[in-house]
Structures are given as structure tokens and as C-alpha cells.
């Protein structure tokens, strides 16, 4: 979705900075492209580039959680149970809620129930200027 929004903005004559994790898409021609891999890299990139924009579209969230520890090598199969401890990632959208920002923030809310109510809550809690609610309750199961 972010790539389509970037392309539409470029076609409308806007300057675009696209911050993206790994995907099988080519960045739109004419966009400044910032490649990231981790949620921490996304946080840093958004904060680095947000101050120079008029509108920040946050159309896809990184994972809400990440592993507490990352193994430097492959974890080999064994008969023992493996427990994966997760910790919350930094909330990038919430981190932009400072009062002196000079740009609009568009957030997205993927919801499975009470879509309108939950999107309204997110709009207020994250101090977005606009929220786009997506009902993902009927999304096809993989």
C-alpha cells in the first residue's frame, strides 16, 4: 500500500521519501528511497525524515513485538521445548504525537472488530490528524 501511495503522490507532483522494509517491489522512480530492516531502523528513519515533510503517511506498522534476544547463529533443532520471549517494539506513530510538529500525520488502523470505535480510539490516542480504518476480519487466511 505504501508503494501505491508513494506512486500516487509522485504522479501528483509531490516529493516523496519512501521508507520501506524488505519487499519484492521496486521503489517508484523519482522517490527518495530509504531501506530499513528492523523496527528500530524504521523508528530512526521516520524521525530523521519526518521533520522535512508536509504529510507523513504511516500506512503499515512494523511488528508490535520483537524477540527479546536475537541469536547470532541458527538455533539447531532439538527435542527440548523452545520459548520465544517477546518485547514490545517502540510505537513509532505514538512517538510523533508532540505538539509542535509542522506536518500532518495519517495513521492506519487494521481492525478485526469494532472497527470504527477502535479506529477512533487510535486517532485520539496516537494524535493522528487522519485515520484510515481497515476491516481485516474477513481477510483470507493463508
DSSP sequence for 10-66: HHTT---EEEE-S-SSPPPTTSEEEE--SHHHHHHHHHHHGGG-SEEEE-S---SEE
Q: Tell me the per-residue pLDDT of 16-44, one tens digit each, with 9 for 90 and over.
A: 999 999 999 999 999 999 999 999 999 99
Give the three-class secondary structure for 110: strand
CATH architecture of structural domain 36-135: 3-Layer(aba) Sandwich (3.40)
Q: How far apart are CA 58 and CA 47, in angstroms?
A: 12
Predicted pLDDT of residue 141:
55
Predicted pLDDT of residue 60:
79
C-alpha dihedral over 14, 99, 96, 6, to 10 degrees? -10
Q: Tell me the per-residue pLDDT of 89-139, one tens digit each, with 9 for 90 and over.
A: 999 999 987 777 899 999 999 999 999 999 999 999 999 999 999 999 886
Amino acid at each position: 500500500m505504501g508503494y501505491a501511495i508513494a506512486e500516487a503522490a509522485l504522479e501528483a507532483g509531490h516529493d516523496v521519501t519512501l521508507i520501506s522494509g524488505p519487499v519484492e517491489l521496486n521503489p517508484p522512480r523519482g522517490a527518495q528511497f530509504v531501506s530499513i530492516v528492523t523496527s528500530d531502523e524504521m523508528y530512526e528513519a521516520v524521525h530523521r525524515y519526518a521533520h522535512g515533510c508536509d504529510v507523513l503517511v504511516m500506512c503499515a506498522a512494523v511488528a508490535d513485538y520483537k524477540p527479546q534476544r536475537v541469536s547470532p547463529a541458527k538455533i539447531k533443532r532439538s527435542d527440548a521445548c523452545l520459548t520465544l520471549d517477546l518485547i514490545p517494539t517502540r510505537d513509532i506513530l505514538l512517538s510523533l504525537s508532540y505538539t509542535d510538529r509542522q506536518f500532518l500525520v495519517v495513521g492506519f488502523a487494521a481492525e478485526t472488530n469494532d472497527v470504527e470505535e477502535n479506529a477512533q480510539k487510535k486517532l485520539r490516542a496516537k494524535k493522528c490528524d487522519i485515520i484510515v480504518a481497515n476491516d481485516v476480519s474477513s481477510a483470507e487466511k493463508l
